[in-house]
Amino acid sequence: MTQPVLPLWINGKAQASTGSRTADVFNPATGKAIRRTPLANKQDVELAVAAARAAFPGWRETTPLRRARVLMRFRELMQAHRDELVHLTSEEHGKTRDDAAGSLQRGIEVIEFATGVPHLLKGEQAEDVGRGVDCHSLLQPVGVCAGITPFNFPVMVPLWMFPVAIACGNSFILKPSEKVPSASLRMAELLREAGLPDGVFNVIPGDKEAVDALLTHPDVRGVSFVGSTPVAKYIYETAARHGKRVQALGGAKNHAVVMPDADLDFTADALIGAAYGSAGERCMAISTVVAVGAAGDPLVEMLREKAARLKVGAGEQKGVDMGPLITAPHRDKVRHYIDIGEQEGAKLVLDGRGLKVAGNEQGFYLGPTLFDQVRTDMTIYKEEIFGPVLIVLRADTLDDAIRLANDNPYGNGTAIFTRSGAHARRFERDIEVGMVGINVPIPVPMAFFSFGGWKASLFGDLHVHGMEGVYFYTRSKVVTSRWPAGEDQGPASLSMPTLG
Considering beta carbons, is residue 398 or 464 the nearer one to ligand NAD? 464
- Minimum CB separation of residue 499 from ligand NAD in Å reads 43
Binding to ligand NAD (CB under 6 A) within 235-274 occurs at: 249-252
Binding to ligand NAD (CB under 6 A) within 376-415 occurs at: 384, 386, 412
Residue 176 φ/ψ region, left for φ over 0, alpha for ψ in the -120 to 50 degree band, beta for the rest: beta
Q: What is the dihedral of CA 357, 358, 363, 369, to 10 degrees?
A: 10
Tell me whether the omega of the peptide bond preceding residue 445 falls within 30 degrees of 0, making it cis: yes
- Minimum CB separation of residue 485 from ligand NAD in Å reads 54
Residues 6+ apart with CB under 8 A from 196: 12, 70, 74, 166
* Contact in structure between 149 and 464 (CB atoms under 8 Å): no
- Minimum CB separation of residue 348 from ligand NAD in Å reads 24
202 binds ligand NAD (CB under 6 A): no
**Which helix or strand (DSSP H or E) is residue 289 part of?**
strand 286-292
Distance, in Å, from the CA atom of 350 to the CA atom of 192, rounded to the nearest integer, reads 49
* Contact in structure between 21 and 54 (CB atoms under 8 Å): no
Q: Which residue is nearest to ligand NAD (CB)?
A: 227
Which is catalytic among the residues 135, 145, 168, 283?
Answer: 283
Distance, in Å, from the CA atom of 422 to the CA atom of 420, rounded to the nearest integer, reads 5
211 binds ligand NAD (CB under 6 A): yes
Quick one: which segment of 70-78, 223-231, 310-318, 418-426 binds ligand NAD (CB under 6 A)? 223-231
Candidates 24, 198, 207, 351: give the one binding ligand NAD (CB under 6 A). 207
Considering beta carbons, is residue 167 or 211 the nearer one to ligand NAD? 211
- Minimum CB separation of residue 273 from ligand NAD in Å reads 17
**Sign, Cα dihedral of 64, 65, 68, 69:** negative
# of chain residues touching ligand NAD (CB under 6 A): 27
Binding to ligand NAD (CB under 6 A) within 279-298 occurs at: 283
Quick one: which segment of 67-75, 165-173, 204-212, 299-307 binds ligand NAD (CB under 6 A)? 204-212
Question: How large is the greatest C-alpha to C-alpha distance in the chain, in angstroms?
Answer: 89
Considering beta carbons, is residue 141 or 147 the nearer one to ligand NAD? 147
Quick one: which segment of 55-63, 144-152, 183-191, 331-339 binds ligand NAD (CB under 6 A)? 144-152
- For residue 168, give the DSSP letter: T
146 binds ligand NAD (CB under 6 A): no
Binding to ligand NAD (CB under 6 A) within 440-459 occurs at: 453, 457
Secondary structure tally for the chain: helices H, strands E:
16, 22
Considering beta carbons, is residue 89 or 412 the nearer one to ligand NAD? 412
Q: At what angle do helices 97-114 and 82-93 cross, to 10 degrees?
A: 120
* Contact in structure between 224 and 464 (CB atoms under 8 Å): yes
Distance, in Å, from the CA atom of 356 to the CA atom of 372, rounded to the nearest integer, reads 24
Annotation marks residue 283 as catalytic: yes
Active-site residues, by number, are: 283
Site of interaction with ligand NAD (CB under 6 A): 148-152, 157, 175, 177-178, 207-208, 211, 226-228, 231, 234, 249-252, 283, 384, 386, 412, 453, 457
